[in-house]
Structure 1
């Protein structure tokens, strides 16, 4: 290959040697792995699924994460931004899915996910025209709400889901393992650099689990019985069912996801030197929609870009999309190895709780960081943030607050994320109007 040809290749399209592709790709997988498996664990715990079903959920999630990442990085037709963007399950969907599942079971969750994914795919070309409804004050508020509503999950992990009167409730051993795990995460994050700092949560989970094993708390009996190779069967929990309230709730979640993806897509485009125009953004959002539909089919969940990997791109300065495509291949392989998922499923709840405090707390911190760039002088933004977060916490304080409302509203009203997000959008329209539509450059 001539020097002129090498210079003509954009860094995003550069093909690295296989050994480097694998090393850098594995690094991306390790940086996002803890977050990737958190959602199936949360949902399985809330839905009281068996260990075998949890293993299946984790396998399906990792497998579909890999497929979604390949779609986004390699692309085809008008789907996929063809940038180094790794895909994972969005935390914004957790609370709505638990509410949907508690009323209609897993099949209702997957029916809502499939329809919401189709909605995302179809609306993608038009969404960039609506992005002005989501200024930084709204997106920052939504991110903060997501973290706040997820944080109680880590607390319940630590308490062991026991009643306060039970001797197992927040037992000394649970507290010890939780805070030890949290301490490991903080120490690694503080004193390690780059790659190790990025996987501080994963290192904390591994360290906490090893100590729990030595203390006889962790039980790995399920690993011995798990298969080495497994296949992801569509509709393992049954054919999807479709409830209007559930679908509407999940569509709202996907609108939030589109906002998240837009921010990550623009950020990655700037980092790798490939600015995203409206056409590129539409391709990126279509990939989210298609991947989410596949998630509903393959017993997984809604997908979006993983923000922690955006930071990893900036640290490593490796811009090739084929590196992240390799991450997708690794995730597909991991999803086809049930023993790996069985190991993850055996992590004690108290260890997960300790890591969860850091993980979900970081989401809150990200929201605060976004809000720190918002102007609060001479406008109504302070009230917007206050009321939106306040509304999101109503059901956290009293889960039965809306019990007198019609049943079809339960999926929306009982989700702090959905209700808080709707409040933020509506108040922004009342206080700030539609805003000005900024011109968006088209791609060549």
Structure 2
């Protein structure tokens, strides 16, 4: 059937279908609700780290305006989503996916931001995105090096490394650490209330309410924060209703340690995108994803991240929660997804909306996201157990996590080495876990549980044979 005939369909369950506006709008809003908080939260976290470094060193250019970073996150998310829907040559997958700033990059982004500020992050992002594009071009050949045991270990390390960030936010934020104010009852009450609300709505809610559990939790936590006098609206009054994206306003710096760390994560996340694109085609179209769709999707994702850096936007990825909605609802209409992308894009031109998002207290963000970080960890476990938990595989996972989490929690072990060593290997557990899991998976021979059991049986048989010979000779 030709494209012209396909576009005449009004079905929300066909990619080229164009349902009525009254049908498409709530479906689009549903996707926006699923991604909006996840899209802006990394920008707020990274802004807090970068601005903390700027204040510490007295260099304003190392930080960034949280409102502008939120605006950029929205703008780039909208652009990246539209690029996936309407490909430009090999840039884009032509699949119904929602793009946005990824939580998976946060451990490395905060590590780089704490050392080099926002300019170091954006400079490393541009170079690392080029690496990610190369991965996309050769994804068919590279997939075999990242089986579930490796990918799951990486995702596990990401989830585990984010817990301290969430708990720190619940306590009032990293800026308050070391002060009597950190962990005061008002922060714990607000953070705890937000967490409990998200948990209850997520477990007992139905339909749209269940889907919006994080949003509802943030709303409840925000109201509680207002009661405690924790919300400052000054930033909203200082911002206008319309502003063009902040292209060219951000300084970039290129530091080799930051580039190496970021490149590793870009490679991993590019390969990880295979899972989301595959789930989209299986859940929405009941077929396997094609090599062309994978290539275009990963290239499009990394091109969006590279371009986004010039606007102050952080690295982009597919949103698994939206993929899950596709699998559940079977809604794959490009019209619906394009509407969602355009609404998010327009929000990126409204500074007051970005400023409103920055008024959300850190305790609320921590309470809302710790569950998300937990789900990332569980996603890693699900990936790992796709393969047999043989001695080989448990060694790979266990050793990668032990070294990754152990070294970064004891940074003094690298204190006598050059700073770049600490930046690459001691700032984020994800880097070490990735390198160890990737290397061990290549050099340790593949052995199934049955093969390992057979080895033990042979050893036992040899032992029994030796004992029998010894008894006969005596």
Q: Distance in 2 between matches of 1:140 and 1:90?
A: 17
Alignment of 1:250-265 (within 5 A): 250-265=262-277
Tell me the equivalent position of 2:377: 364
Q: For 2:212, which of 190, 199, 204 is the aligned residue?
A: 199
How far does residue 19 in structure 1 lie from its aligned partner after superposition? 2.8
Alignment-derived partner of residue 170 in structure 1: 183
Alpha-carbon contact 2:90-2:296 (below 8 Å) kept = yes
Aligned: 1:283 with 2:296: yes
Q: How far has the Cα of 1:22 moved from its partner?
A: 2.2
Q: How big is the alpha-carbon RMSD for the aligned residues of Structure 1 and Structure 2?
A: 2.5
1:222 alignment counterpart: 235
- In the alignment, what sits opposite 1:20? 23
Determine the C-alpha separation between the residues in 1 that align with 2:7 and 2:127.
47
Instruction: Note the alpha carbon deviations across 1:197-216, whole angstroms, 9 max, x for none.
Output: 22211110111001211232
Q: Does 1:430 align with 2:433?
A: no
Q: Normalising by structure 2, what TM-score?
A: 0.86
Question: 1:35-434 maps to which residues of 2 (within 5 A)?
Answer: 35-48=38-51, 53-160=65-172, 161=174, 166-238=179-251, 240-273=252-285, 274-377=287-390, 379-413=391-425, 414-432=427-445
**Aligned 8 A contact 1:96 1:411 in 2:** no
2:138 aligned counterpart, secondary structure:
helix
Name the CA distance, whole Å, in 1 between partners of 2:82 and 2:345: 10
**How many angstroms does 1:321 deviate by?**
2.4
Greater Rg over alpha carbons, structure: 2
Summarize deviations over 1:19-46 as a string: whole Å, max 9, x none: 3222211111110111111111111111
CA–CA separation in structure 2 for the residues paired with 1:14 and 1:7: 5
- Conserved? CA contact 1:198–1:312, under 8 Å: no
Tell me the SS of whatever aligns to 1:219.
Answer: coil
Q: Which runs of 5+ in 1 are unaligned?
A: 436-444
* Distance across 2 between alignment mates of 1:164 and 1:99: 17
Would the alpha carbon gap of residues 227 and 328 (structure 1) be closer, same or farther in structure 2, given more than 3 Å must change? same
How much does 1:2 deviate? 7.8
Report the TM-score, using the length of structure 1 for normalisation: 0.91
Q: Go from structure 1 to structure 2 and tell me whether the alpha carbon gap of 1:72 and 1:19 turns closer, same or farther (over 3 Å shift).
A: same
| C-alpha distance in 1 between matches for 2:299 and 2:271 | 13
* 2:467 corresponds to: none
The aligned counterpart of 1:30 is 33
- Distance in structure 2 (CA, Å) of the matches to 1:167 and 1:430: 50
| Count of paired positions | 433
Q: Say which SS state the counterpart of residue 48 (structure 1) adopts.
A: helix
Taking structure 1 as reference, are residues 235 and 376 closer, same or farther at Cα in structure 2, changes over 3 Å only? same
Q: Distance in 2 between matches of 1:220 and 1:146?
A: 33
Q: Structure 2: state its 5+ residue gaps.
A: 53-61, 449-474
Distance 1:392 1:85, change over 3 A: same
* Cα 1:346–1:122 shift into 2, 3 Å: same
Local SS of the residue matching 2:340: helix
Q: In structure 2, do the counterparts of structure 1 residues 19 and 400 end up closer, same or farther at CA, with 3 Å as the change threshold?
A: farther
Match of 2:453 in 1: none
Mapped to 2, the partners of 1:399 and 1:88 lie a distance apart of 32
Say whether the 8 Å CA contact 2:217–2:368 is kept in structure 1: yes
Change (3 A) 1:117 1:193: same
Following the alignment from structure 2 to structure 1, what is the Cα–Cα distance between the partners of residues 422 and 237? 41
Q: CA deviation at 1:52?
A: 7.5
**Mapped contact 2:222–2:361 kept (Cα < 8 A):** yes
**Distance in 1, Cα, partners of 2:198 & 2:168:** 19
